Amino acid sequence: MDIIEKCDCTTIHEDTVKKVKNSMPDEDCLYNLAETFKILSDNTRIKILYALLNSDMCVCDISALLNMTQSAISHQLRVLKQARLVKYRREGKSVYYSLDDEHIKSIFDQALIHINEK
C-alpha cells in the first residue's frame, strides 16, 4: 500500500490510479500551468491585456480607460511584466506597455469557446 496515504477510503481502482499517475505531466508543468492561469484570473489584468491587444498604452491611459487609480494599474502591470505577458518602453515621462506574447489572444479565444458553449 504505497499509493494510499491521506485517502481514508479503500482505493477501488488501483490499476486506474497507476495508469493515470503515469500519464500525469510533471509537477513543474502543472505548477506553471496553474501559475499562468492565476495571472489571467483577475478582472483588472484581463482588461489590461485586452486593451493592449488593441493598442500600446501608457499607464495613465490605462488608468483612464479602466477608471482605476494609477497605483492599482501600476501594481498589476508589474505582475503582468513579471509573468512576461507585457513589455514596456520608456518615452520621456511616460512608460508604454505592450503585449509580449502573441498567444494571449489564442488562450482567450479557447476560454471563450468554453464559456459560450454553456
Partner DNA sequence: TGAAAATATGAATATATGTTCATATGTTAG
Partner DNA sequence: CTAACATATGAACATATATTCATATTTTCA
**Closest separation between CB of residue 74 and DNA, Å?**
4
40 forms part of the interface with a copy of itself (CB under 8 A): yes
Residue 97 corresponds to which cell in the numbers above? 506597455
Residue 53 near residue 99, CB atoms below 8 Å: yes
Residue 5 in 3-state DSSP? coil
Which grid coordinates belong to 75? 501594481
CB nearer DNA, residue 38 or residue 105: 38
**Which residues, 42 to 81, sit near a copy of itself by CB under 8 A?**
42-43, 45-47, 50-51, 54-55, 57-58, 60-61, 63-65, 67-70
